[in-house]
């Protein structure tokens, strides 16, 4: 059963227009085709999952979306602007943030500082003013700190606010990584295997946070995840990749019923 | 409103008084977004007025009940005062109670209105809504996750308050007029007792019950409005209500709500409370944390800690009681304070504690002495929900680890033939709600309250509690068997989280033990013993050896006591799962339900007495989300050495 159906009154949750679309994207590394002719769209405020067996091209797709990889073919449309590729800095400025499968945190820095680092694009004052903490820089810093504290409160990590990230258990580090991504106040949040390596309880917590982020901030979420139960519960729509091709696209129920998906996951006789 | 503070007789009137005389001083703080946010008494009056008006608008009338569910949050405290202002009766709930446990109280008290903290609590009430058709309004403090809920019963706290503000503006005298209608004999609060047996009972306490009790403590300890108090215990517990609500309102000091349950230790360090109240399990938890950290410390620090703690055990309590101590011990203690005690107290957040109380359960004497030897004025008191916690308290300078002190002023105590303690006091409850039979049973015609506790007065007039009267039993040879006494002794070891002792009517005493997964896990890691989880760790033979050592120490200790020598523990098992309130094995205040456990784990008890080596047990567990599963495990029965009384005496 989909988690959302358990919540009464969710019919009011508004999934909007298409905010992000890829058309005919192909990506190859030398002779290896990571993606070929993949097209799908993401609507505003929805939770969109990309799934597929190992090596299906999920992470490559995410890297195309935020500009780490340049596809050889295809177009990407984000908030009405169409490009042949994104670039990482520009995509961050436009409101795309992501978390990483293998965490991208400063291990020696506190939780607070890590999340604050996620706001660096929004820091307007120059380095000198920031260092001296005077006038506008001080006001700005207070504002940033407030937003960071709101995220800490939201993710329920007050008790480790000042703990160096490297000393936290893995599940909490994942939560901090999510916090760092949220600090950029993204329109679209890309989550790369947010539950990988977690135990059941941590997965439940993380699912709750993802739903809450989507509900509270209206953030559009694109996630890659291996845990099928989680994907089916969380997502509004799912894209299934296999060997770099899209083999299915639809609601959890549609995807679950698709013969191509069953074959890809269970294998077929050739 | 010009009456002297000492004669103001209801909580809302106390609020008005403080708003007048202490208007600009902070009344309550809450850590939010990393900052301590404060509300003055003046601001609090405004908040309570708005809330009371809003509740009145929604139809909450005199004598109606208002459920208050959640952690310590300023708004929930205001809800209590707001209800009291209207002559309505707040009913606090344990925030971690599962939905089905709440059903009975909602039905019993016919509750139509509830103010809850967040989505978690709102979900529970929505779940039980079909069983509690009277429940019509649920207001929530934190709207997170509730945005898309469409139930007509639900509304945010802000809506209630804003409606109240409008009403307060339109009818500026409404609030004061409602407060003026209140009488000191009105019910101030209803607290449901956790009930180790049967349904919980609603204890009806009036304003004058709670105020009399609060004043007695305030006078005894000379409390002032400068005290800082951390409000961190469950609101549905009378101890928390008396120390962080009733006394707060009576004395006008400050209470501080921690940021979250996980930050309590840190928040306590920041606030530095001067007046502190903790049940033994909290003190135990702190000591376990300290012990673990000391094991991680360097060799020098460890030696220093051991040396000075040894000294503290010898002279610390005597110094605190003002008894004579040798001059060189004075000097050494001074050094110890410099190097160990003061930093330790600071780490515990107890540097400024002037008076600390513990109650709720008997405290292990060693645990108690640990805190006192550091120079923390920890004292035991005795009381219950029914007596507004006002029975006995240890006076400064006459604190003994194994008594709860002499009766407080205005309290009469008798000990019956059976050993049961009966008493009369000004804090004595009106009645059990809608339960005349239970009321008559507990309170006889002359107003004596039967506590159900067994105890006696020692030679200095201090009351000593041994156990629940019904739990004190005898071994088959007639030896006294006080299970809680044994359990407390076992629980003092950091490795043992819970213990359940058996022996009534049997040849010898035995016990079930719960490991403390943090302490034992740490111990195992240090020794390179691999384990996969709780059950695996508990089943390790090395762990059994560790606990055997603990049990044998208890036995050696018991062999020194003439009356209890016979109740040494012969055999024990280490349970494969933690005893849990969700499975009904503990009460919500974390007291073991011995009878229930004995029945549930009858196979283990049989194995303990059949001389078996192993036993197989299957048990139901309830997960936090309410699902039920079952756990199967094979447990070993371990034997412990017992000591002959004479051998040690010699």
Is B372 within a domain?
no
Q: How confident is the model at residue B196 (pLDDT cuts 50, 70, 90)?
A: low
Is B96 within a domain?
yes
Do residue B149 and residue A158 have CB atoms under 8 angstroms apart? Answer: no
Do residue B266 and residue A154 have CB atoms under 8 angstroms apart? Answer: no
Question: What was the ipTM of the complex prediction?
Answer: 0.80
Same-domain check for residues B421 and B521: no
Q: Classify residue B537 by burial, with Cβ atoms within 10 Å: 0-12, 13-18, 19+.
A: buried
User: pLDDT value at position A199?
Assistant: 86
β-sheet with A245-250: strand ranges across: A96-99, A188-192, A220-224, A47-51, A237-242, A245-250
Same-domain check for residues B448 and B499: no
Question: Can you give the C-alpha Rg of chain A in angstroms?
Answer: 19
Same-domain check for residues B67 and B141: yes
Chain A residue whose CA is closest to B263: A159
User: pLDDT value at position B257?
Assistant: 96
CA distance A147 to chain B (A): 9
Same-domain check for residues B464 and B594: no
Same-domain check for residues B512 and B601: yes
Question: How far, rounded to the nearest angstrom, does the alpha carbon of residue A240 sit from its chain's CA centroid?
Answer: 17
Residues of B in contact with A115 (CB under 8 A): none
Q: How confident is the model at residue B595 (pLDDT cuts 50, 70, 90)?
A: confident
Do residue A7 and residue B148 have CB atoms under 8 angstroms apart? Answer: yes
Residues B383-401: what's their mean pLDDT? 89
Do residue A159 and residue B260 have CB atoms under 8 angstroms apart? Answer: yes
Mutate to test the interface with B, among A149, A159, A182 (most CBs of B within 10 A): A159
User: pLDDT value at position B616?
Assistant: 86
Mutate to test the interface with A, among B147, B150, B289 (most CBs of A within 10 A): B147
Do residue A8 and residue B150 have CB atoms under 8 angstroms apart? Answer: yes
Q: Output the furthest CA–CA distance in chain B (Å, rounded).
A: 84
Q: Where are the domains of chain A?
A: 1-95+186-270, 106-183
Residue B590 lies in domain = 473-649
Do residue B151 and residue A8 have CB atoms under 8 angstroms apart? Answer: yes
Backbone angles phi, psi at B291, to 5 degrees: -60, -45
Same-domain check for residues B587 and B636: yes
Q: With a cut of 70, say whether residue B271 has pLDDT above it.
A: yes
Q: How confident is the model at residue B648 (pLDDT cuts 50, 70, 90)?
A: very low
Is B520 within a domain?
yes
Asked whether B552 and B571 are in contact (CB, 8 A), the reply is no
Chain A residue whose CA is closest to B259: A158
Percent of chain B scoring above 70 in pLDDT: 96
Asked whether A188 and A96 are in contact (CB, 8 A), the reply is yes
Do residue A216 and residue B145 have CB atoms under 8 angstroms apart? Answer: yes
Chain B residue whose CA is closest to A199: B533
User: pLDDT value at position B146?
Assistant: 87
CA distance B143 to chain A (A): 9
> For chain B, which residues lie within 8 Å of any Cβ of chain A, measuring from their own Cβ?
32-35, 126, 144-145, 147-151, 259-260, 262-263, 266, 625
Tokens of A214: 């989507």
Tokens of B320: 């605190």
Is B621 within a domain?
yes
Same-domain check for residues B567 and B611: yes
pLDDT in tens, B324-376: 889 999 999 999 999 999 999 999 999 999 999 998 777 877 788 899 999 99
CA distance A14 to chain B (A): 10
Chain B residue whose CA is closest to A154: B144
Scanning the structure block, which residue is given the tokens 């993204």? A186
CA distance A10 to chain B (A): 5
Determine the CATH number of domain A1-95+186-270.
3.40.50.300
CA distance A226 to chain B (A): 23
User: pLDDT value at position A8?
Assistant: 41
Same-domain check for residues B443 and B582: no
| pLDDT < 70 regions, chain A | 1-13, 269-270
Do residue B259 and residue A158 have CB atoms under 8 angstroms apart? Answer: yes
> For chain A, which residues lie within 8 Å of any Cβ of chain B, measuring from their own Cβ?
7-10, 12-13, 145-146, 149-150, 152-154, 156, 158-159, 161, 204, 208, 211-212, 215-216
Vertex B546 angle, CA B543 and B548, to 5°: 110
User: pLDDT value at position B624?
Assistant: 66
Vertex A141 angle, CA A140 and A146, to 5°: 100
Distance CA B98, CA A183 (A): 34
Q: Where are the alpha helices (DSSP H) in A27-134?
A: 58-65, 88-94, 111-117, 127-132
Backbone angles phi, psi at B338, to 5 degrees: -65, -45
Provide the b/e sequence for A13-50 (b: ≥16 CB within 10 Å).
beeeeebbebeebbbeeeeebbbbebebbbbbbbbbbb
Chain B residue whose CA is closest to A214: B145
Do residue A216 and residue B147 have CB atoms under 8 angstroms apart? Answer: yes
User: pLDDT value at position B649?
Assistant: 40
Q: Classify residue B448 by burial, with Cβ atoms within 10 Å: 0-12, 13-18, 19+.
A: middle
For the domain that residue B521 is a member of, what is the CATH number?
3.30.300.30
Mean pLDDT for chain B? 90
Residues B399-419: what's their mean pLDDT? 86
Chain B residue whose CA is closest to A144: B33
Q: Where are the alpha helices (DSSP H) in B86-155?
A: 99-108, 119-128
Same-domain check for residues B466 and B477: no
CA distance A149 to chain B (A): 5
Q: Output the furthest CA–CA distance in chain A (Å, rounded).
A: 70
CA distance B77 to chain A (A): 21
User: pLDDT value at position B105?
Assistant: 94
Going through A144-263 in order, the beta strands assigned E by DSSP cover 188-192, 220-224, 237-242, 245-250
Distance CA B465, CA B580 (A): 26
3-state class (DSSP) for residue B123: helix
Distance CA B132, CA B93 (A): 16
Distance CA A204, CA A210 (A): 10
Chain A residue whose CA is closest to B149: A9
Q: With a cut of 70, say whether residue B637 has pLDDT above it.
A: yes
Percent of chain B scoring above 90 in pLDDT: 61
Asked whether B381 and B357 are in contact (CB, 8 A), the reply is yes
Q: Which among A7, A146, A149 is the nearest to B149, CB-wise?
A: A7
Residue whose C-alpha is closest to residue A101's, from A191, A167, A179, A173: A191
Chain B residue whose CA is closest to A215: B145
Q: Which among A10, A13, A150 is the nearest to B33, CB-wise?
A: A150
pLDDT in tens, B12-64: 999 999 999 998 999 999 999 999 999 999 999 999 999 999 999 999 999 99
Mutate to test the interface with B, among A4, A158, A217 (most CBs of B within 10 A): A158
Q: Which among B33, B126, B148 is the nearest to A153, CB-wise?
A: B33
Q: Whole-structure pTM over 0.90, yes or no?
A: no
Tokens of B577: 């799962």
User: pLDDT value at position B33?
Assistant: 92
Asked whether B603 and B586 are in contact (CB, 8 A), the reply is no
pLDDT in tens, A64-106: 998 899 999 999 999 888 989 888 888 888 899 999 887 789 9
Provide the b/e sequence for B335-358 (b: ≥16 CB within 10 Å).
ebbeebbeebbeebbbbebebbbb
Q: With a cut of 60, say whether residue B647 has pLDDT above it.
A: no
Count of pairs with CB atoms under 8 A, one residue in A, one in B: 48
> Considering only B225-234, B557-566, B580-589, which range has the smallest mean pLDDT?
B557-566
Do residue A152 and residue B266 have CB atoms under 8 angstroms apart? Answer: no
Residues B220-241: what's their mean pLDDT? 94
Q: Classify residue B467 by burial, with Cβ atoms within 10 Å: 0-12, 13-18, 19+.
A: buried
Do residue B151 and residue A9 have CB atoms under 8 angstroms apart? Answer: yes
Is B233 within a domain?
no
Residues B1-9: what's their mean pLDDT? 65
Residues of B in contact with A153 (CB under 8 A): 32-33
User: pLDDT value at position B64?
Assistant: 96
Residues of B in contact with A159 (CB under 8 A): 259-260, 262-263, 266
Handedness of CA B416, B422, B424, B430 (dihedral sign): negative
Same-domain check for residues B32 and B152: yes
Distance CA A40, CA A47 (A): 14
> Considering only A70-79, A258-267, B212-221, B239-248, which range has the smallest mean pLDDT?
A258-267
CA distance B350 to chain A (A): 19
Same-domain check for residues B88 and B125: yes
User: pLDDT value at position B195?
Assistant: 61
Distance CA A115, CA A100 (A): 14
Distance CA B278, CA B380 (A): 10
Distance CA B53, CA B59 (A): 10
Query: How far are the Cα atoms of B274, B501, B503, B532, B557 from residue B472, in angstroms, in the given order?
Result: 37, 11, 10, 39, 20
Do residue B260 and residue A161 have CB atoms under 8 angstroms apart? Answer: no
Mutate to test the interface with A, among B73, B125, B143, B148 (most CBs of A within 10 A): B148
For the domain that residue B419 is a member of, what is the CATH number?
2.30.38.10
User: How many structural domains are present in chain B?
Assistant: 3
Distance CA B79, CA B85 (A): 10
Cβ neighbours for A54, distance < 8 A, ≥ 6 positions apart: none
CA distance A113 to chain B (A): 14
Cβ neighbours for A232, distance < 8 A, ≥ 6 positions apart: A2, A238, A252, A256
> Considering only B111-120, B243-252, B527-536, B544-553, which range has the smallest mean pLDDT?
B527-536
User: pLDDT value at position A10?
Assistant: 42
Q: Which among A7, A12, A146 is the nearest to B33, CB-wise?
A: A146
Q: Which residue has the higher pLDDT, B201 or B403?
A: B201
Chain B residue whose CA is closest to A156: B260
User: pLDDT value at position B263?
Assistant: 93
Same-domain check for residues B113 and B9: yes
Q: How confident is the model at residue B3 (pLDDT cuts 50, 70, 90)?
A: low
Do residue B148 and residue A216 have CB atoms under 8 angstroms apart? Answer: no
Do residue B34 and residue A216 have CB atoms under 8 angstroms apart? Answer: no
Do residue A153 and residue B32 have CB atoms under 8 angstroms apart? Answer: yes
Q: Which among B32, B144, B150 is the nearest to A212, CB-wise?
A: B144
């Amino acid at each position: 059963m989909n988690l959302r159906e358990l919540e009464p009154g969710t019919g009011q949750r508004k999934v909007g227009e298409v905010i992000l679309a890829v058309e005919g994207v192909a990506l190859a590394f030398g002779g290896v085709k990571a993606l070929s002719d993949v097209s799908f769209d993401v609507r505003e405020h929805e939770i969109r999952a990309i799934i597929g067996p190992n090596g299906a091209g999920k992470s490559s797709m995410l890297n195309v979306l935020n500009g780490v990889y340049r596809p050889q073919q295809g177009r990407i449309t984000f908030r009405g602007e169409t490009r042949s590729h994104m670039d990482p800095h520009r995509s961050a400025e436009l409101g795309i943030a992501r978390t990483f499968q293998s965490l991208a945190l400063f291990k020696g820095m506190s939780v607070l500082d890590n999340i604050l680092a996620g706001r660096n694009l929004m820091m307007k004052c120059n380095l000198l003013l920031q260092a001296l903490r005077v006038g506008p820089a001080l006001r700005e810093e207070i504002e940033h700190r407030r937003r960071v504290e709101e995220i800490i409160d939201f993710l329920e990590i007050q008790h480790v606010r000042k703990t160096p990230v490297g000393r936290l258990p893995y599940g909490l580090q994942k939560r901090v990584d999510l916090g760092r991504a949220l600090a950029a106040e993204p329109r679209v949040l890309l989550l790369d295997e947010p539950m990988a390596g977690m135990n059941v309880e941590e997965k439940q917590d993380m699912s709750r946070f993802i739903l809450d982020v989507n509900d509270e901030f209206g953030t559009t979420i694109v996630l890659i995840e291996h845990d099928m139960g989680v994907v089916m519960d969380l997502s509004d729509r799912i894209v299934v990749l296999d060997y770099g091709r899209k083999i299915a696209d639809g609601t959890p129920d549609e995807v679950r019923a698709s013969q191509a998906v069953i074959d890809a996951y269970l294998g077929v006789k050739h | 409103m010009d009456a002297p503070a000492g004669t103001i007789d209801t909580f809302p009137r106390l609020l008005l008084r403080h708003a007048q005389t202490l208007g600009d001083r902070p009344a309550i703080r809450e850590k939010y977004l990393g900052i301590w946010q404060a509300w003055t008494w003046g601001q609090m009056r405004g908040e309570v007025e708005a809330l009371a008006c809003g509740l009145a608008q929604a139809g909450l009338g005199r004598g109606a009940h208002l459920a208050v569910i959640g952690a310590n949050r300023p708004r929930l405290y205001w809800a209590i005062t707001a209800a009291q202002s209207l002559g309505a009766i707040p009913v606090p709930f344990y925030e971690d109670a599962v939905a089905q446990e709440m059903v009975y109280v909602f039905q019993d008290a016919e509750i139509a209105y509830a103010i809850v903290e967040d989505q978690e609590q709102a979900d529970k009430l929505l779940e039980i809504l079909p069983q509690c058709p009277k429940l019509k309004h649920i207001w929530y403090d934190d709207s997170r996750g509730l945005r898309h809920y469409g139930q007509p019963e639900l509304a945010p706290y802000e809506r209630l308050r804003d409606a109240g503000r409008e009403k307060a503006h339109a009818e500026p005298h409404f609030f004061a007029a409602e407060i003026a209608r209140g009488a000191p004999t009105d019910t101030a609060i209803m607290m449901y007792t956790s009930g180790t047996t049967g349904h919980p009972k609603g204890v009806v306490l009036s304003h004058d019950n709670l105020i009399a009790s609060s004043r007695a403590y305030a006078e005894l300890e000379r409390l002032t409005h400068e005290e800082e108090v951390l409000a961190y215990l469950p609101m549905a517990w009378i101890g928390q209500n008396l120390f962080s609500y009733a006394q707060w309102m009576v004395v006008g000091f400050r209470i501080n709500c921690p940021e979250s349950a996980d930050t309590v230790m840190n928040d306590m360090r920041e606030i530095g409370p001067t007046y502190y109240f903790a049940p033994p399990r909290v003190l135990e938890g702190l000591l376990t944390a300290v012990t673990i950290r000391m094991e991680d410390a360097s060799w020098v620090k460890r030696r220093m800690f051991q040396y000075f703690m040894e000294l503290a055990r010898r002279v610390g309590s005597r110094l605190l009681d003002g008894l004579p101590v040798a001059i060189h011990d004075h000097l050494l203690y001074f050094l110890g304070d410099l190097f160990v005690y003061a930093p330790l107290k600071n780490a515990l957040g107890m540097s400024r504690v002037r008076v600390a109380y513990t109650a709720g359960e008997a405290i292990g004497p060693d645990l108690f002495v640990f805190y006192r030897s550091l120079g923390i004025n920890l004292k035991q008191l005795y009381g219950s929900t029914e007596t507004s916690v006002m029975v006995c308290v240890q006076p400064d300078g006459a604190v003994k680890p194994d008594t709860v002190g002499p009766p407080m002023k205005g309290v009469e105590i008798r000990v019956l033939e059976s050993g049961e303690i009966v008493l009369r006091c000004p804090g004595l409850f009106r009645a059990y709600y809608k339960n005349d039979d239970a009321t008559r049973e507990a309170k006889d015609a002359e107003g004596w309250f039967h506590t159900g506790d067994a105890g006696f007065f020692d030679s200095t007039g201090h009351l000593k509690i041994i156990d629940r009267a019904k739990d004190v039993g005898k071994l088959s040879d007639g030896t006294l068997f006080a299970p809680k006494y044994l359990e407390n002794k076992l629980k003092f070891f950091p490795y043992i989280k819970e213990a359940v002792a058996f022996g009534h009517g049997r040849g010898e005493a035995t016990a079930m033990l719960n490991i403390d997964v943090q302490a034992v896990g740490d111990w195992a890691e240090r020794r390179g013993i691999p384990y996969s989880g709780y059950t695996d760790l508990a089943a390790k033979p090395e762990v059994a050896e560790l606990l055997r050592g603990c049990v044998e120490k208890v036995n050696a200790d018991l062999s020194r006591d003439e009356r209890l020598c016979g109740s040494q523990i012969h055999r024990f098992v280490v349970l494969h799962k933690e005893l849990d309130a969700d499975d009904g094995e503990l009460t919500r205040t974390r007291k073991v339900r011995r009878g229930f456990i004995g029945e549930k784990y009858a196979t283990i008890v049989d194995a303990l007495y059949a001389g078996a080596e192993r036993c197989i047990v299957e048990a139901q567990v309830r997960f936090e989300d309410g699902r039920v599963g079952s756990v199967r495990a094979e447990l070993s029965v371990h034997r412990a050495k017992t000591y002959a009384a004479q051998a040690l005496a010699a």
